[in-house]
A and B are shown apart, each in its own frame.
Chain A
Amino acid sequence: MANFSTNEFKAGLKVMIDDEPCNILENEYVKPGKGQAFNRVKIRKLISGKVLEKTFKSGDSVPGADVLDTELSYLYNDGEFYHFMNNETFEQVAADAKAVGDNAKWLVENTDCTITLFNGSPIVVTPPNFVELEITETDPGLKGDTAGTGGKPATLATGAVVRVPLFVQTGEIIKVDTRSGEYVSRAGK
């Protein structure tokens, strides 16, 4: 892959740093009138998810990372791997628990997820920003309660637990924001 110099660093560029694919989040060029130029670069290590601040000498370069984001539909979990499929080519990809991480609780069958491939292997699985899931268990609420009174915990079909308003009942389908893990609304509203 091509090399990228600090002058070309910009948010979203994927490069290899310390033998790990990284996503550049921010790049600040520092050049005092007297003194050497350097770049303060904020990066996310794609495999560990760790965000860190790294200082480069201006003009230094690093190799690009062979990283590709692809939209794949979630099929099932066989106990060890999570299987995804490209709905156009029917090609299947298996991601391990490390790539899926905490996002396992947001994987809904037949829903498109973003799979980040590094050298062809999945390293990060990102669910859609919103998913709809059925409530499998929650305490019955009292009649007449409205939203915004603190709510109650509800367990969803995937095992995720979110706080929901008191009026939402077991068996209902709700919309959840996967980035914050918060209840958004009843489904279809």
Chain B
Amino acid sequence: MSDRVVNLQHKARILSQIRAFFSHRGVLEADVPCLDSHGVTDPFLTNFECDWQGQTRYLQTSPEFALKRLLSEGFGDCYYLGKAFRNEARSTQHSPEFMILEWYRIGMTPEQLMNEIAELITCVLGIDKTDSMSYADAFMKYANIDIWQATREQLIKIFPGECHFDLTLETDSDLLQMLFSILVEPQIGQEFPCFIYDFPLDQAALAQANEDGLTAQRFELYYKGFELANGYGELTDPEEQARRFGQDNNRRLRLGKKLIEPDVRLVQALKTGLPNCSGVALGVDRLCMLALGLEDINLIQFN
């Protein structure tokens, strides 16, 4: 038997472990479409598009919209464990087809959800604890930058090495995100998985704003150089949701990317009423890689 087959047997056990974890908590597995009528407006995500009987269909980059629609119709706490697709380059940590675990917990705050994630991953990875730190604190600790005070010039100045593009044309948000990936991310979660919470509001995506007016209820989980999970205190305001769809398409326009018709069914679902909830998406292949100490995603996928 090849190493890969042995890895896939381990993966199967982790999938059972995940399903048992949720079954034990009364969270139902949701069957939602991988192939759907709408794509995602996020300017940095790209759907695979395919033709169905003369109409465009989109392989889903995550089950987020479908799960939220299900929640608004009263399905209750739910998770999806299955395939998602992103039309982007391959690397040792990226595959265009991958397994995603996404779940939603009604009435939970992001803090409570982070605790639940910690319970799941400490159990799968066989480790004792997780750490956590706010986005601003992490920047201060590892890059000595006060993100609320730093000027553009200061951010450009600390950018390591040279760039093959004009850094001064980047938005503040993109600049900060690149600096986070280069300067901060490699240093966090080396010993224990580390939650980074309270992302700046302009990196909120589908998260609710915090009361400070600066940050959003978004968090990410990092461990040993992997971005493992991304979660939100979910946005429930339909008008704000519609506004963010518009913002996304404006960014797409500026970046010369194709505009995507927003999925009005999501806005409609929020109008019907998305219960207050927190949700998170986790890369299952990466979790398995960490559990087995593998360095290439190719070793945990069959192709």
Contacts and interface: CB of A to CB of B under 8 A. Distances in A.
27 contacts: A7-B89, A17-B164, A29-B89, A29-B94, A30-B182, A31-B89, A32-B177, A32-B181, A34-B44, A34-B205, A36-B43, A36-B174, A37-B44, A37-B88, A40-B182, A52-B162, A53-B162, A54-B161, A54-B162, A55-B161, A55-B163, A55-B165, A55-B182, A56-B163, A56-B164, A57-B165, A58-B89
Contacts of B227: 32-33
Contacts of A40: 161, 182
A60 interface: yes
The 4 closest A-B pairs by CB, nearest first: A53-B161, A29-B91, A35-B177, A56-B164
B197 to A, nearest CB: 14
A7 B94 CA distance: 13
Contacts of A56: 163-165
A38 B44 CA distance: 11
A182 B32 CA distance: 65
Given A55-B163, A55-B164, A57-B165, A38 B205 contact: no
B230 A38 contact: no
Nearest to B199: A34
B42 interface: yes
Interface string B206-246: 00000000000000100000010010000000000000000
B160 A53 contact: yes
Nearest to A5: B89
Interface of A: 6-7, 17, 28-38, 40, 52-58, 60, 62
Q: Place the interface of chain B in its size category.
A: 20 to 34
Contact of B162 (A34, A35, A55): A55
A52 B89 contact: no
Contacts of B177: 32, 35-36
B203 interface: yes
Interface string B74-101: 0000000000000011010010000000
B164 A34 contact: no
Nearest to A35: B177
B178 interface: yes
A53 B178 CA distance: 14
A29 B94 CA distance: 9
A30 B164 contact: no
Contacts of B164: 17, 54-57, 60, 62
A55 to B, nearest CB: 5
A87 B224 CA distance: 52
A28 B162 CA distance: 15
B42 A34 contact: yes
Contact of B94 (A17, A31, A57): A31
A7 B203 CA distance: 26
B235 to A, nearest CB: 14
A60 B89 CA distance: 12
Interface in B111-148: none
Given A35-B44, A55-B165, 15 more contacts: A6-B89, A29-B94, A31-B89, A31-B91, A34-B44, A35-B178, A35-B203, A36-B44, A37-B44, A38-B181, A54-B162, A54-B163, A55-B163, A55-B182, A56-B164
A31 B88 contact: yes
Contacts of A54: 161-164
A55 B178 contact: yes
B213 to A, nearest CB: 20
Contacts of A28: 91
A170 B17 CA distance: 72
Nearest to B86: A31
A28 B178 CA distance: 13
Interface string B169-190: 0000010011011100000000
